Amino acid sequence: DDMWLPTKLEEQLKVFKEAEGSVAIVYSDYEKITEGGERSGRVVKAPAKATYVSMLKGNVIGNLTGIYDTAKVGKVFFQRIHHEDYVMWLSILKKDFIARNTETVTALYRVRSESLTSKKFSLLTWQWNIYVNVEKTGYLRAIYYYAIYACKGFLKSLI
How far is CA 69 from each of CA 4, 77, 81, 94, 118, rounded to the nearest angstrom? 19, 13, 23, 15, 31
- pLDDT, position 151: 87
Report the run of H or E that residue 92 belongs to, with start and end.
Answer: helix 84-93
What pLDDT is recorded for position 132? 95
* CB 26 within 8 Å of CB 102: yes
Low pLDDT (below 50) residues in the chain = 117-118
Characterize the bridge pairing of strands 67-68 and 23-33.
antiparallel
Q: Is the Cβ–Cβ distance between 17 and 72 less than 8 Å?
A: no
pLDDT of residue 115: 53
pTM over 0.85: yes
Query: What SS3 state is found at 8?
Result: helix
Per-residue pLDDT reduced to its tens digit, 34-78: 989 999 899 999 999 999 999 999 999 999 999 999 999 999 998
